[in-house]
Structure 1
Amino acid sequence: MADPFTELCVEMLSPLGPVRVRRMFGGQGIYVDELFMALIVQNQLYLKADDTTRERFVAAGCEPFSYSTATGERQVMSYYRPPEDALESPPLMLPWARLALEAALRATNAKAGKPAAKKVARKATKKATQTAAKKSAPAQPSAAKKAAPRRG
């Protein structure tokens, strides 16, 4: 069973769709409709942000998720805490959760447009076209049938 804070976060995000929680990054990753859109680290919820949504989080005074690398460098990720009052009310959380879900959707779509993904898609399309061409081509008589004498 999940801890009470994780259960609260799942409840707050569930109006957006089915929520799945998975252990990662020393915390938990939250997926809504299979889109990775939030983190829970040390009993703090962080929602995904991107270039389109980041300013909304910053303007509201939301803190980004950051961590120290093995070399002591501070890394800041594109996940922000929602405003404190959002964790107290599903209607207050919903706009922030929607921003995170939209950022997750944009990230997923951007990955699908990367050259490696396009190469795989072209290969699959080429194979499908070749298969379709073979199925629609007229049947060629086999060599044995060509050589067999006709009976009349």
Structure 2
Amino acid sequence: MTVSNTYIDRVIASLSHVAEISYRRIFNGIGIYYHGVQFAIVVNDHLYFRADEYSRPLYLQKSMKAFQPRASVQVESCFFELPDEVLNAPAELRHWLRIAVEAAQTGDYRDDETTVETPIRHMRQRA
């Protein structure tokens, strides 16, 4: 599992246009945060947003694929892939970002940035 610099730059640029986000490397991918809450991951050049029991049907209705860490093992994922075209549509991206952040906030997914040794690269919303 890898993440290309070109893809992560594109994702971060698109997301930073609609919200103040931060990101850092996690395992074999990238974790993306909104005010310390991890709402997305990037793995193998695919962007996945967090879902909960309430938002999961929204992702399924749009035929968004669930993240599967290994092809040999099927698990119920809490992350769903966003289609690439959503990255180019700020209003739609903002909509899905809000859904993902809400899902992340309902669980205990807040990351205490002061205890994490890996530096977080903060991106500010561009004017």
**TM-score bin, normalised by smaller chain:** 0.7 to 0.9
Within the alignment, does 1:23 sit opposite 2:25 as a pair? yes
Deviations 1:93-139 (A, max 9, x none): 11111110111111138xxxxxxxxxxxxxxxxxxxxxxxxxxxxxx
Q: Secondary structure in 2 aligned to 1:91? A: helix
Q: Say if 1:67 and 1:76, in contact at 8 Å, map to a contact too.
A: no
Aligned-partner Cα distance in 2 for 1:52–1:46:
17
Q: Say if 2:15 and 2:87, in contact at 8 Å, map to a contact too.
A: no
What is the TM-score when the length of structure 1 is the normalising length?
Answer: 0.62
Aligned-partner Cα distance in 2 for 1:74–1:8:
29
Amino acid at match of 1:84: D
Q: Which has the higher contact order (CA 8 A, sep 6+)?
A: 2
Amino acid at match of 1:66: Q
1:6, distance to aligned residue in structure 2 (A): 1.1
Residues 22 and 103 from structure 1, CA distance in 2 versus in 1: closer, same or farther, beyond 3 angstroms? same
What is the TM-score when the length of structure 2 is the normalising length?
Answer: 0.73
Aligned-partner Cα distance in 1 for 2:14–2:52:
21
Q: Greater Rg, structure 1 or structure 2? A: 1
Amino acid at match of 2:93: M
Within the alignment, does 1:55 sit opposite 2:57 as a pair? yes
Structure 1 runs, 4 residues or longer, greater than 6 Å off:
none
Within 5 A, what are the aligned runs for 1:55-94? 55-68=57-70, 72-94=72-94
Unaligned runs of 5+ residues in structure 1 are 110-152
The percentage of aligned residue pairs carrying the same residue is 25
Which residue is 1:124 aligned to?
Answer: none
Unaligned runs of 5+ residues in structure 2 are 110-127
Aligned-partner Cα distance in 2 for 1:91–1:11:
15
Within 5 A, what are the aligned runs for 1:1-152? 3-14=5-16, 15-17=18-20, 19-68=21-70, 72-108=72-108
Amino acid at match of 1:50: D
Aligned pairs, how many? 105
- Structure having the higher helix fraction is 1
What is the Cα-based RMSD across aligned positions, in Å?
A: 2.0
Aligned-partner Cα distance in 2 for 1:54–1:63:
11
Amino acid at match of 1:16: A
